[in-house]
């Protein structure tokens, strides 16, 4: 019997829902509720009359927003004495080399909340100074006196010997209402700064996520599974303990959903463009989603596995303004869901959505399937204020806002492709989110991409990815193996992590026989300060593992950086295991092609290439496989608007996707 699934994706402006039931797909969107995001989720569950047996998978931005807005818990950090200022010192790396007045990110735990503990573990894992029960109790009392709501424990070399952290964790857990997070649980890997930063973020957002998940489950009246940054779902219990794994929860669902629909249509090499209300998320998938363990959010490094996503503050609600020098800027500030863009009827500041509406690139009567109406007059007034300040016409100001937003998104697209050694011309651009299909063709032109792919339901694709994604657990351990006789260290780590993954999944009622185990490792040349991720090579004997890794690493280094050194020694730094329980694959219905051209519902005046043009407006539900049309054209639907500029041709495939292609010479 097919499962009933409900995917929920909470964005800064809208919360999206996809209900999969008996082969049917039902979608819904509602305004997000920033004061308590669970309210919008509960509203959608009720509006869709979700059956009691439905499994709910939720992609959330609660942890992300708490971190970016610095609205997390009052967090203390406990570390080995002498390392209290590690978060302040960091790596002494500047994210902007040319900023004359560079300001480093402010640590989540100020100096008065960072405590040293008398203990020390050496680089060989042996205790150089044993932690006593009395010292652990002293630290626990001090944390309570400081009024901390959460505490992160990160001791030097605890990934080799976690006993000291666990002793501290037991003492701290005896303090009432204190969220305790241990680095040996969250990220048992080397690099003290990154590990400490990750566990501090985990503690900082922990109480916020705990309260949110409790309200969500109570309001929904059922258990909820949470989308992780790595692209798979996990139960609420694990998410409460490791909320840092949800920092890219929503965007990860978008990448998973985009890969599903694109692969079903025959597109494996894709770049994803997810443009929502507050931000745009871009990812490159050369056959599969790319993973990263070295990303940062708000300037703070986070070392847990996540899909490699570049996020920029350019969304439909991004606010446009003139800076002190008179230059036009867009974002990262956003009007969000409250008050929202001016055209929503409350806000007054000009946004990207207002600019698109003023340019005729949105249909005011089709917004949310007719459940809401966009106020063109308010949008014009907001853009007029910007135009007056910049001595521009209304059309010039609106077109300028769109161009600046596109420039911000283009930089993100270049970052995930050209800066990583990939040619964007080799990929199809999969556009989704409420605003992605509006901007996709112009962005594709900027990077010389020939094909833009728009799914049947682009505005809720992240919710679809959440609903239909796999169940995934990620585990890691630092091994530091470089000699042939070190192979046993790697094998032992893989075996231990695999056993841990299967046992945790079995505790959730999952048959271990259904678990697929993927083994990867991080390797580098000895002395390098960065690693490359490799799949574990197949070898006949364990003692040949490191030699095979070295060969694979030389090849990977050559592909990535254009050179390699086969004579240099290679070491395996981390062993990684991913335990995957594959979801039931979605059934994509192929419909027969029809003859003839589609008929537009009406025409509208839209601004393209510096002038107004009469532009046909098609309703998405009127389009069938085989229908083709040329730009300029608009396709309106409940969850998004697709814009085909002049010089682009569109065709509907058998899965009802819109495939846009550039004409020769465009």
Average model confidence (pLDDT) for the chain? Answer: 91
In a domain, 334, yes or no: yes
Average pLDDT of 635-664? 93
Spatial distance between the Cα atoms of 193 and 390, rounded to a whole number of angstroms? 45
**Which tens digit of pLDDT belongs to each residue from 626-640?**
999 998 999 999 889
Query: Given 352, 380, 404, which residue is the final one in a domain?
Result: 404
Is 440 part of any domain? yes
Dihedrals phi, psi of 377, to nearest 5 degrees: -60, -45
The per-residue pLDDT for 2 is 65
Res 612 pLDDT > 80: yes
Please answer whether residues 230 and 291 qualify as being in contact, where contact means their C-beta atoms are separated by less than 8 angstroms.
yes
Number of neighbours of residue 626 by Cβ within 10 angstroms? 17
327 and 382 share a domain? yes
Cis peptide, bond prior to residue 332, ω within 30 of zero: yes
Strand partners, 328: 322
| Band of pLDDT at residue 142, cut at 50, 70 and 90 | very high
Q: Do 133 and 280 belong to one domain?
A: no
One domain, residues 341 and 395: yes
Same domain, 324 and 416: no
Kindly report the CATH number assigned to the domain that includes residue 576: 3.30.1490
Please say which residue of 380, 404, 428 terminates a domain: 404
Indicate whether 226 and 342 sit together in one domain: no
> What pLDDT is recorded for position 335?
85
Q: E strands along 200-357, which residues?
A: 224-227, 233-235, 269-275, 280-286, 291-292, 295-297, 300-302, 306-307, 310-312, 318-322, 328-334
Q: Tell me the mean pLDDT in the region 281-306.
A: 89
Last residue of a domain, one of 468, 491, 522: 468
pLDDT tier at 292, thresholds 50, 70, 90: confident
Please tell me the least confidently modeled range out of 103-112, 368-377, 437-446.
368-377
Tell me how far apart the alpha carbons of residues 237 and 610 are, in angstroms, rounded to a whole number: 54
436-446 vs 394-416: helix crossing angle, rounded to 10 = 70
Say if CB 115 and CB 76 are below 8 A apart. Answer: yes
Our measurement of the distance from residue 256's CA atom to the centroid of its chain's CA atoms, rounded to an integer in Å, reads 10
First to last CA, the chain: 50
- Verify that 355 and 481 share a domain, yes or no: no
- Residues 426, 442, single domain; the answer is yes
In whole angstroms, give the CA distance from residue 418 to residue 336: 31
CATH code assigned at 53: 3.30.420.40
Produce one character per residue of 457-474: b if its CB has 16 or more CB atoms within 10 Å, e if not. bbbbbbbbbbbbbebbbb
Q: Considering the domain boundaries, does residue 590 fall inside one?
A: no
Q: What is the pLDDT of residues 176-232, one digit of tens each?
A: 889 999 999 999 999 999 999 999 999 999 999 999 999 999 888 888 899 999 999
Residue 307: inside a domain: yes
Same structural domain for residues 75 and 182? yes
Other CB atoms within 10 Å distance of the CB of residue 524: 18
User: Any idea which of 327-341, 543-557, 621-635 has the lowest mean pLDDT?
Assistant: 327-341
Comparing 109 with 589, which gets the higher pLDDT?
A: 109
Looking at the structure, tell me whether residues 444 and 297 fall in a common domain.
yes
The answer to whether position 357 is within a domain reads yes
pLDDT digits (tens, 9 = 90+) for 385-444: 999 998 999 999 999 999 999 999 999 999 999 988 899 999 999 999 989 999 999 999
The answer to whether 416 and 424 have CB atoms below 8 angstroms apart is: no
Closest-CA residue to 554 (of 539, 538, 565, 569): 565
Asked if the structure places residue 596 within a domain, the reply is no
Q: What's the rounded Cα separation, in Å, for the pair 199 and 240?
A: 13
Across 526-535, average pLDDT: 91
For residues 195 and 88, membership in a common domain is answered with yes
CA proximity to 519, closest of 578, 586, 595, 472: 578
Which tokens hold the place of 315? 């969304």
User: Do 272 and 416 form a contact (C-beta atoms < 8 A)?
Assistant: no
Q: Which residues make beta-bridge pairs with 271?
A: 284, 429
Looking at 321-375, list the stretches that DSSP marks H as alpha helix, in order from N- to C-terminal side: 352-358
Strands (E), 183-327: 224-227, 233-235, 269-275, 280-286, 291-292, 295-297, 300-302, 306-307, 310-312, 318-322
Q: Is residue 594 part of a domain?
A: no
Question: Residue 151 is part of which domain span?
Answer: 70-204
Are 343 and 329 within one domain?
Answer: yes
User: How many separate domains does the chain show?
Assistant: 6
Average pLDDT in the 135-162 region?
A: 95
| Reported confidence tier of residue 369, pLDDT bands at 50, 70, 90 | low
Q: Please, are residues 480 and 444 in contact by the beta-carbon 8 Å criterion?
A: no
- DSSP letters for 592-630: ----S----SEEEEEEETTEEEEEEEEEGGG--TT-EEE
Q: What pLDDT score does 1 carry?
A: 47
Q: Is the pLDDT of residue 666 over 60?
A: no
> For residue 371, what pLDDT is reported?
67
Q: Supply the pLDDT for residue 96.
A: 74
In whole angstroms, what is the distance from residue 295 CA to residue 550 CA?
25
Beta-strand relationship, 306-307 and 14-21: unpaired
Do 477 and 494 belong together in one domain? yes
Give dist(CA 103, CA 106) in Å, integer: 8
């Amino acid at each position: 019997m097919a499962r009933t699934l409900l995917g929920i994706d909470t964005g800064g402006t809208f919360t999206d829902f996809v209900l999969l039931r008996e082969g049917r797909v039902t979608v819904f969107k509602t305004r997000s509720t920033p004061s308590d995001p669970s309210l919008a989720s509960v509203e959608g569950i009720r509006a869709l009359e979700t059956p009691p047996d439905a499994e709910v998978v939720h992609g959330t931005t609660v942890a992300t927003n708490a971190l970016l807005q610095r609205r997390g818990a009052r967090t203390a950090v406990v570390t080995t004495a002498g390392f209290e200022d590690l978060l302040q010192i960091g790596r002494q790396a500047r994210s902007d080399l040319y900023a004359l007045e560079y300001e480093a990110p402010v640590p989540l735990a100020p100096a008065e909340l960072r405590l040293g503990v008398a203990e020390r573990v050496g680089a060989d894992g042996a205790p150089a100074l044993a932690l006593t029960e009395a010292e652990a109790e002293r630290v626990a009392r001090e944390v309570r006196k400081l009024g901390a709501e959460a505490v992160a424990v990160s001791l030097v070399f605890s990934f080799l010997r976690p006993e000291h952290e666990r002793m501290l964790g037991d003492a701290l857990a005896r303090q009432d209402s204190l969220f305790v997070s241990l680095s040996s649980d969250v990220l048992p890997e080397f690099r003290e700064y990154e590990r400490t930063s990750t566990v501090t973020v985990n503690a900082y957002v922990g109480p916020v996520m705990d309260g949110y998940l409790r309200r969500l489950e109570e309001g929904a009246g059922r258990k909820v599974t949470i989308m992780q940054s790595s692209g798979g779902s996990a139960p609420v219990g694990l998410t409460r303990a490791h909320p840092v794994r949800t920092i890219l929860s929503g965007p990860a669902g978008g990448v998973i959903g985009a890969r599903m629909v694109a692969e079903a249509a025959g597109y494996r090499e894709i770049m994803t463009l997810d443009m929502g209300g507050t931000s745009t998320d871009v990812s490159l998938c050369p056959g599969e989603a790319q993973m990263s363990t070295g990303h940062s959010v708000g300037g703070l490094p986070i070392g847990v596995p996540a899909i490699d996503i570049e996020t920029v503050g350019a969304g439909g609600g991004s606010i446009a303004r003139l800076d002190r020098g008179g230059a036009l800027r867009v974002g990262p500030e956003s009007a969000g869901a409250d008050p929202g863009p001016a055209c929503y009827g409350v806000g007054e500041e000009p946004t990207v959505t207002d600019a698109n509406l003023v340019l005729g690139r949105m249909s005011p009567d089709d917004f949310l399937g007719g459940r809401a109406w966009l106020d063109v007059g308010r949008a014009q007034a907001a853009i007029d204020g910007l135009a007056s300040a910049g001595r521009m016409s209304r059309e010039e100001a609106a077109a300028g806002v769109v161009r600046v937003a596109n420039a911000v998104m283009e930089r993100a697209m270049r970052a995930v492709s050209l800066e990583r050694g990939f040619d964007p011309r080799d990929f199809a651009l999969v556009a989704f989110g409420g605003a992605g299909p509006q901007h996709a063709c112009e962005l594709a032109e900027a990077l010389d991409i020939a094909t833009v792919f728009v799914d049947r339901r682009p505005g809720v694709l992240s919710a679809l990815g959440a609903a239909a994604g796999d169940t995934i657990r990620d585990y890691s351990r630092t091994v530091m193996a470089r000699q042939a006789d070190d192979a046993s260290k790697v094998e032992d780590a893989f075996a231990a992590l695999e056993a841990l993954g299967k046992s945790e999944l079995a505790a959730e009622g999952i048959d271990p026989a259904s678990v697929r185990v993927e083994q990867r490792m991080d390797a580098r040349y000895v002395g390098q300060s960065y690693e490359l991720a490799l799949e574990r090579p197949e070898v006949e004997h364990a003692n040949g593992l490191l030699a095979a890794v070295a060969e694979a690493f030389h090849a990977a280094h050559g592909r990535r950086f254009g050179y390699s050194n086969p004579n240099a020694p290679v070491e395996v730094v981390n062993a990684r295991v991913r335990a995957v329980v594959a979801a039931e694959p979605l059934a994509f219905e192929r419909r027969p092609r029809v003859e003839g051209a589609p008929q537009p519902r009406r025409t509208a005046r839209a601004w393209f290439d510096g002038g107004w043009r009469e532009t046909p407006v098609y309703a998405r539900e009127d389009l069938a496989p085989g229908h083709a049309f040329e730009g300029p054209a608009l396709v309106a639907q409940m969850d998004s608007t697709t814009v085909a500029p002049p010089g682009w041709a569109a065709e509907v495939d058998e899965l009802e996707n819109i495939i846009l292609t550039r004409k020769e010479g465009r």
